[in-house]
Amino acid sequence: MAKNQTLKITEMDRYLFGQGTHYEIYKLMGAHPTKQKGKDGVYFAVWAPRAQEVAVVGDFNGWDPNKNIMKCDNDMGIYQLFIPGVKSGDLYKFCITSPSGELLYKADPYANYAEKRPGNASRVYDITNFKWNDSVWMKNRQNYDVNKNAMSIYEVHPGSWRKHPQNEHDEDGFYNYRELAHSLAEYVKDMGYTHVELMGIAEHPFDGSWGYQVTGYYAPTSRYGTPDDFQYFVNYMHKNKIGVILDWVPAHFPKDAHGLADFDGTPTYEYADPRKGEHPDWGTKVFDYEKNEVKNFLIANALFWMEQYHIDGLRVDAVASMLYLDYGRENGQWVPNKYGENKNLEAIEFFKHLNTVVLGRNKGTVMIAEESTAWPKVTAHPEEGGLGFSLKWNMGWMHDFLEYMKLDPYFRQYNHHKMTFSLTYAYSENYVLVLSHDEVVHLKCSMINKMPGLGQDKIENLKVGYSYMLGHPGKKLLFMGQEFGQYQEWSEARELDWYLTAESSHRELRDYVKELLKMYKKYPALYATDHTEGAFEWINADDASRSIYSFIRKSPTGRNNLLFVINCTPVARDDYRVGVPKKKQYRLVLNSKDPKFGGNVPVEKTVYMAQKKECDGREFSFAYPLPAYGVAVFTY
């Protein structure tokens, strides 16, 4: 909308908002620098349906609730006011008089910027001034197909990836979004990830929530700079051919007095019945998916990040908590739906609407569900009875994988199925394999300290695990620090233990992960057939006594198929024979024991010719000296 155009919420705007289909409502709600009747100022609008009165208070009027009282000329409860002289950077809140006469000082739900914590006021900001120059990326993005293209995600918490030394002027040590853009892009490009997924970008009051308790859905957190700085970050990532995914939290919000809870003195954004409107486990409020205005707030927010900030995907947090009315609740703490079931019918419809609109308007973007149950058809189209997500986190694979990898290698033979079970359902959804921040906090140990043994044994186990993850169907996600074997559990309060990369063993682990990511992008067999049944084939899923797995990933063209052989014990098999599908040459393209990764088994021979010798129930086979904790990948 032009800056000199008079902003006003019309009858049509109110109608669409009431229907839940005003997809650009954020261009009217909130605070927008503009010009009216020749005067520069800011137009304010807020939805407070049960308020007696609403005023804008800020540092421009001494925070006096009697000076700038807003007008409400409709029964929807939308209040609006233009205040001349207010400018970008000014702090403000809405002072809402509740039905009982109480004065509530609320941050703006649609604010584009906020005061840095511990302050909690909103800040006027014009986000339309930034000059984007990522048009090549945005054009190419329209052709991105998550079912056929590579996706390897580096999950990052910006405040703790790297920090400056703390001093009296900067006790946080945070990198600014612009500094982060340069250092992170260089690292991610060097490693070979295709995307970064950022935690905690939407404004939140408490660092320890990691950004999962949001008070400013339309504001990139001021911890790391301004909205322009964040736009610079996304723009710079795109210029370096790196996609940006944000964690997004439409499930719940905190009870902080300045936030959305009881916004106009009554349950406004949350369900009124506490059995639906509160999470007993988390002490938070649950969005009311029956209210069109609330659904509009959330769907427009998803579109806002995609269309205003050029974000390439949203990872939707805590989907299961939205789908199940009894999630985290005991008997008597929840209300069944009209059919007497535990499904939240409004949340189901919300997801279908959300995903249809967001993906329909933004071709090539992705919506990823963090859904921890066996809810069917999360990634199926709504017209097929699905929720419409692009991808779903594979929590079942993650749980089984970690349980197996934690075991002493001797006991792995009795748990062999833990690594094969996920293949029985690998094509039921479009999956992302995840080793996320959730697995390296709350006394769960860092990834390397989950591994059995001491020192180098832990690193060898991690290489084996990451290799299996690479070969298993599904997109990939690894949390920061896991790639070089961080020892400490992750904490938002300190930077990663980068000093470890001065040690050869940790550097070699990182080099190995880098090699896996390079292979991943090089061979379409590892990504283009992730969701194609039959493109994964076991050679031997049952070699439990030796804890060895062998399987094939097939490429869409039949060229450069890959054969994986993975030894999960410290016992070398000097003449390991593996069955193969054809009498062809098999070329070794990865040897985990290569000296460049800290190994001690240099490769003498890279090409193996299959012989007519039965093995693994196949007519042809060849023998390969498989080292202890050895991973061998062949192409044919």
List, for residues 325-366, the tens digit of each pLDDT value: 999 999 989 999 999 999 999 999 999 999 999 999 999 999
Question: Which residues span the domain enclosing 286?
Answer: 150-163+171-393
Instruction: Give the span between the Cα atoms of 176 and 180, in whole angstroms.
Output: 6
* Helix 292-308 vs helix 11-19: crossing angle, to nearest 10: 100
Please tell me whether residues 42 and 156 are part of one structural domain.
no
pLDDT bin (cut points 50, 70, 90) of residue 1 is very low
Amino acid identity for residue 334 in this structure: W
Residue 124: the pLDDT is 98
Q: Token pair of 107, please?
A: 């941050």
Confirm if 46 and 78 have CB atoms less than 8 A apart.
Answer: yes
Is 439 among the domain residues?
A: no
Is residue 3 predicted with pLDDT exceeding 60? no
Quote the crossing angle between the two packed helices 456-471 and 395-406, to the nearest 10°: 150
Identify whether 64 is part of a domain. yes
Is the same domain home to 158 and 305? yes
Above 90 in pLDDT, residue 104? yes
pLDDT of residue 176: 96
In Å, how far are 313, 343, 344, 429 from 376, measured between CA atoms?
A: 22, 12, 14, 8
Any catalytic annotation for residue 317? yes
Among 562, 477, 475, smallest CA distance to 527 is for 475
Digit-coded pLDDT (tens) for 274-305: 999 999 989 999 999 999 999 999 999 999 99
Angle (CA) 531-317-513 rounded to 5° is 55
| Residue 275 burial (C-beta neighbours within 10 Å; 0-12, 13-18, 19+) | middle
CA-wise closest residue to 79 among 102, 106, 100, 39: 106
Output the pLDDT for position 166.
75
Whether the CB-CB separation of 284 and 274 falls below 8 Å is answered with no
* Contact yes or no for 429/379 (Cβ under 8 A): yes
Which residues, 6 or more positions from 97, have their beta carbon under 8 angstroms from its beta carbon? 51, 52, 53, 54, 103, 104, 265
Instruction: Give the whole-angstrom CA distance, residue 317 versus residue 249.
Output: 5
Whether 449 maps to a domain, the answer reads no
Determine, yes or no, domain membership for 34. yes
Rg (C-alpha) for the chain, rounded Å, is 27
Spatial separation of the C-alpha atoms in residues 541 and 418, rounded to whole Å: 11
The enclosing domain of 250 has a CATH number of: 3.20.20.80
Q: Is residue 505 part of a domain?
A: no
pLDDT in tens, 85-102: 999 999 999 999 999 999
**Residues 227 and 288 both lie in one domain:** yes
pLDDT for 5 = 65
Catalytic hit among 317, 429, 483, 530: 317
The reply to whether 300 falls in a domain is yes
Same domain, 119 and 190: no
Is 242 a residue whose pLDDT tops 80? yes
Please indicate, yes or no, whether residues 250 and 384 belong to a single structural domain of this protein: yes
Q: Which of 439, 432, 400, 435 is nearest to 416 (CA)?
A: 400
Three-state DSSP class for residue 508: helix
- For residue 80, list its beta bridge partners: 45, 71
Does one domain contain both 269 and 385?
A: yes
Please indicate, yes or no, if residue 141 is contained in any of the structural domains: no
What is the C-alpha separation between 383 and 352, in angstroms, rounded?
9
HEC readout, 598-618: CCCCCCCCCEEECECCCECCE
Please give the Cα distance from 492 to 161 (Å, whole number): 9
Same domain, 111 and 177: no
Residue 77 in 3-state DSSP?
coil
**Residue 563 is part of a domain; what is its CATH number?**
2.60.40.1180
Length of the chain (residues): 636
pLDDT at 608 over 70: yes
Name the domain boundary from 348, 368, 393.
393
pLDDT at 407 over 90: yes
Q: Please state, in angstroms and rounded to a whole number, the distance separating the CA atoms of residues 208 and 601.
A: 45
CA dist., res. 592 & res. 508, Å (int): 10
pTM reported for the whole predicted model = 0.96
User: Which residue among the candidates 270, 346, 370, 460 is catalytic per the annotation?
Assistant: 370
Closest CA to 386 of 360, 420, 416, 351: 351
**Looking at the structure, do residues 159 and 100 belong to the same domain, yes or no?**
no
pLDDT tens-digit series, residues 523-532: 999 999 999 9
Whether 228 and 354 map to the same domain: the answer is yes
- The domain tally of the chain equals 3
Are both 154 and 95 inside the same structural domain? no
pLDDT at 171: 82
Backbone dihedral region of 588: left (phi > 0), alpha (psi from -120 to 50 degrees) or beta? beta
Residue 204 and residue 87 in one domain = no
Which CATH number belongs to the domain containing residue 88 in this structure? 2.60.40.10
pLDDT of 321 reads: 96
19-23, 563-567, 571-575: which has the minimum mean pLDDT? 571-575
pLDDT bracket for residue 603 (50, 70, 90): confident
Q: Among residues 332, 360, 393, which one ends one of the domains?
A: 393
Q: Which is it for strands 278-279 and 53-58: parallel, antiparallel or unpaired?
A: unpaired
Q: What pLDDT, on the 0 to 100 scale, is given for residue 2?
A: 46
Cα–Cα dist 366/386, whole Å = 16
The verdict on residue 226 lying in a domain is: yes
- Same domain assignment for residues 546 and 603: yes
For 629, the token pair is: 């904790």
- For 423-459, what is each residue's pLDDT tens digit? 999 999 999 999 999 999 988 999 999 999 999 999 9
